[in-house]
Amino acid sequence: DIVLTQSPATLSVTPGESVSLSCRASQGISTSIHWYQQKSNESPRLLIKYASQSISGIPSRFSGSGSGTDFTLSINRVESEDFSVYYCQQSYSLPLTFGSGTKLEIK
Amino acid sequence: EVQLVESGGGLVQPGRSLKLSCAASGFTFSNYYMAWVRQAPKKGLEWVATISTSGSRTYYPDSVKGRFTISRDNAKSSLYLQMNSLKSEDTATYYCARHYSSYLNWFAYWGQGTLVTVSS
């Protein structure tokens, strides 16, 4: 199974700061990584597909990068509505797996 | 607008069975792979099952293989998850999700979830 390791587990930031969240795969997965946001008591929402491809309706401050084993979700100038948990997911091979999440909290 | 509405969750004893349902609308259901993803209380996300457009192919992780069965009724735009031999570790919110296309890729849309609690 492909293990996805997300870091840090928790990130404390001030609104207006820019942040980068990491997702590392246990083996090379090309760009088959996708990012989700899950706000408290809500369902996950797709943010980025195939490492860097944008999703309709998602604010442009969210962007993704990486290939192989190292991936990054970047948020340019965090807004109050962005404080939530972020998960990465791989579709390179079965079983489909998720990272354990990064919680973005207000400092 | 894509809508996925789960039902069927509840409290069930260990070893018993439960069947979840998901009613889909807002898209041509038969054109998409569908899936179940679960989330244990205060934990992360875990993929549980995926079914092909016709229902002829199903996919599971080892943690549920042989105990859970995913199925669909394209005429009713409905997805199901039959869960047998339930264990306490199956306690979770179960989300119905639509894959992006006719393949196992990302989860483009999610339902609101239904809570399954396995306890005596």
Examine the pLDDT at B75 and tell me if it is beyond 90. Answer: yes
Q: Which residue has the tokens 């490492």?
A: A51
Q: Is A100 within 8 Å of B100 when comparing Cβ atoms?
A: no
Per residue, the 3-state secondary structure of B72-115, as one string, reads EECCCCEEEEEECCCCHHHCEEEEEEEECCCCCCCEEEECCCEE
Contact between A98 and A91 under an 8 Å Cβ cutoff? The reply is: no
Q: Mean pLDDT of residues grouped by 10 in chain A (107 residues)? A: 97 96 98 97 97 96 98 97 97 97 95
| Chain A nearest-CA residue for B36 | A96
Give the tokens for residue A42: 């809500």
Q: Convert the pLDDT of each residue in B104-118 to its tens digit.
A: 899 999 999 999 999
Q: What is the pLDDT of residues B51-74, one digit of tens each?
A: 999 999 999 999 999 999 999 999
**Residue B61, pLDDT score:** 98
Q: What is the 3-state secondary structure (H, E, C) of chain A?
A: CCCEEEECCEEEECCCCCEEEEEEECCCCCCCEEEEEECCCCCCEEEEECCCEECCCCCCCEEEEEECCEEEEEECCCCHHHCCEEEEEECCCCCCEECCCEEEEEC
CB contact under 8 A, B108 and A46: yes
Residue B102 pLDDT more than 80?
A: no
Q: How far apart are CA A61 and CA A73, in angstroms?
A: 10
Query: Measured between CB atoms, does A100 come within 8 Å of chain B?
Result: yes
First to last CA, chain A: 35
A24 touches chain B (CB under 8 A): no
Q: What band does B38 get if pLDDT is binned at 50, 70 and 90?
A: very high
